[in-house]
Amino acid sequence: MTEAMVRISQVRKSFGSHEVLRGISLDVPERGVVCVVGPSGSGKSTLLRCVNRLETITAGRIWVDGELIGYRELDGRGSRRRGLCLLKPAELCKQRESIGMVFQRFHLFPHRTALENVMEGPVTVQRVNRVDAERLARRLLDRVGLADRADYYPAQLSGGQQQRVAIARSLAMSPKLMLFDEPTSALDPELVQEVLTVMRDLAADGMTMMVVTHEMGFAREVADHLVFIDGGVIVEQGPPREVLGNPRHERTRAFLGQVV
């Protein structure tokens, strides 16, 4: 059995008294692409943000590549208690290094050029020397079709171009896993495809991906597994063609009726 790249087990998350995730369990196999769909406020972003610990979970466990995210399991030997111990900040950073994240609103660093944005992670976090980092960054910008925009600042790029730079910025850390939170939702319709094309190529190259999206065409074509979340629980999941073509639950049907 191959170990799952992401293992989400019984995860709960509350903001105050409001429980947003109510027991989510989900595996993403290595090289797998999982698409997460669901209505607004159902907890899709929160789930994704828990995986790289931009949010702390209230219950459950998340492992990425076999490593427990955010905590260390104490074995109770010696004088130590059994249970969980929070990771030190440096250990947390180490875990995040190998998990790429792409945001709905890009969040490129506006004071740095496209090239500098892509170089930022390798230079600052991985201490790669600038010459190698620049070579890597140019290769990645070329890969997302923006070799000629290296010297532009984010404000001078279209939304689709900015999102492709953001993908290149994440890829520069050589992540094991990429998280996408509605990467095309802030884009004009005619710019959506250029971003989806880049993501399709990534999937074809064997990147493990978790994608929150409303692009059902992309989900049907690229995802191995589709998850429908509503009210903080997984209502229905399976191969995308089955879930999209023949939804078994009333809520799934109602949601898909609205989206398509």
Ligand X SMILES: Nc1ncnc2c1ncn2[C@@H]1O[C@H](COP(=O)(O)OP(=O)(O)OP(=O)(O)O)[C@@H](O)[C@H]1O
- By CB under 8 A, name the binding residues for other proteins: 52, 54, 89-90, 93-97, 99-101, 103, 105, 107-113, 120-121, 124-125, 151-156, 166, 169-170, 173
Nearest to 100 by CA among 207, 25, 13, 4: 207
User: At 101, which amino acid appears?
Assistant: M
Backbone angles phi, psi at 46, to 5 degrees: -60, -45
- Nearest distance in Å: CB 220, other proteins: 28
* Closer residue to ligand X, CB minimum distance, 15 or 109: 15
* First-to-last C-alpha distance (Å) of the chain: 37
Which position has the token pair 């260390």? 72
CA distances from 102 to 13, 141, 166, 208, 209 (A): 21, 15, 6, 14, 11
User: Among the residues of the chain, which ranges form H helices?
Assistant: 44-51, 89-97, 114-120, 130-143, 159-171, 189-204, 216-222, 240-245, 250-259
Backbone angles phi, psi at 8, to 5 degrees: -110, 125
**Which of ligand X, other proteins, Mg ion, none sits in contact with 40, Cβ below 5 to 8 A by type?**
ligand X
**Which of ligand X, Mg ion, other proteins, none sits in contact with 107, Cβ below 5 to 8 A by type?**
other proteins
- Nearest distance in Å: CB 33, other proteins: 19
* Closer residue to ligand X, CB minimum distance, 44 or 149: 44
* 17 belongs to the binding site for ligand X (CB under 6 A): no
* Closer residue to ligand X, CB minimum distance, 41 or 206: 41
* 45 belongs to the binding site for ligand X (CB under 6 A): yes
User: At 48, which amino acid appears?
Assistant: L
- Nearest distance in Å: CB 20, Mg ion: 11
**Which of Mg ion, other proteins, ligand X, none sits in contact with 127, Cβ below 5 to 8 A by type?**
none
- Nearest distance in Å: CB 159, Mg ion: 17
Site residues for ligand X, window 25-44 (CB under 6 A)? Answer: 38, 40-44
Reading the block at residue 13, the tokens are: 């998350």
Residue nearest to Mg ion (CB): 45
DSSP 3-state of 243 = helix
- Nearest distance in Å: CB 101, Mg ion: 13
Strand partners, 36: 212, 227
- Nearest distance in Å: CB 44, Mg ion: 5
Q: What is the DSSP string of 176-205?
A: SEEEEESTTTTS-HHHHHHHHHHHHHHHHT
* Closer residue to other proteins, CB minimum distance, 18 or 111: 111
**Which of other proteins, Mg ion, ligand X, none sits in contact with 42, Cβ below 5 to 8 A by type?**
ligand X
Neighbours of 250 (CB within 10 A): 9
* Closer residue to Mg ion, CB minimum distance, 55 or 134: 55
* 20 belongs to the binding site for ligand X (CB under 6 A): yes
Distance (Å, rounded) from C-alpha 48 to C-alpha 38?
13
Would you tell me which residues interact with ligand X (CB under 6 A)? 15, 20, 38, 40-46
